[in-house]
């Protein structure tokens, strides 16, 4: 997971998710919508950070080890969705999440 000032990019963030976040914030800070002087600077900063976040997302998704992890997660999720919901499958999902997405798995048995 990578935290930017305006965006948070996780392993499950898609370019479409990032675009939605950007457009929501762009409406808020666009200089044509607001008369405050700081909005122009914030909008420029937001646009630059959006570009950086997209680059980061592309690098993460193109890394071989990440594509293997994503494939493994997709397989587990497919099992989870199709009536094969078993305790070992849930444990595997929690393990992936805790290791790869920095999620605390305490309380899951």
Q: What is the DSSP string of 28-83?
A: HH-TTT---HHHHHHHHHHHHHHHHHHHHHHHHHHSHHHHHHHHHHHHHHHHHHTT
What CATH number does residue 50 fall under? 1.10.287
Q: Are 50 and 83 part of one and the same domain?
A: no
Residue 4 has pLDDT above 80, yes or no: yes
For residue 106, the 8-state DSSP code is T
10-68 tens-digit pLDDT: 877 888 899 999 999 988 888 888 777 788 888 899 999 999 999 888 887 666 656 66
Mapped onto helix, strand or coil, the DSSP state of residue 97 is helix
Q: Are 83 and 52 part of one and the same domain?
A: no
Q: Are 10 and 52 part of one and the same domain?
A: yes
78-105 tens-digit pLDDT: 666 665 556 676 677 677 766 665 544 4
H or E segment to which residue 9 belongs: strand 8-9
Domain residue limits at 73: 64-100
For residue 8, the 8-state DSSP code is E
């Amino acid at each position: 997971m990578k935290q930017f000032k305006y965006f948070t990019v996780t392993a499950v963030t898609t370019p479409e998710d990032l675009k939605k976040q950007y457009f929501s914030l762009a409406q808020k800070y666009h200089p044509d919508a607001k008369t405050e002087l700081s909005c122009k600077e914030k909008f420029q900063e937001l646009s630059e950070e959006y570009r950086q976040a997209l680059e980061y997302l592309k690098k993460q998704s193109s890394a071989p080890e990440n594509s293997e992890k994503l494939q493994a997660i997709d397989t587990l999720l497919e099992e989870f969705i199709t009536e094969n919901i078993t305790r070992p499958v849930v444990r595997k999902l929690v393990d992936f999440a805790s290791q790869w997405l920095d999620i605390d798995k305490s309380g899951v048995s």
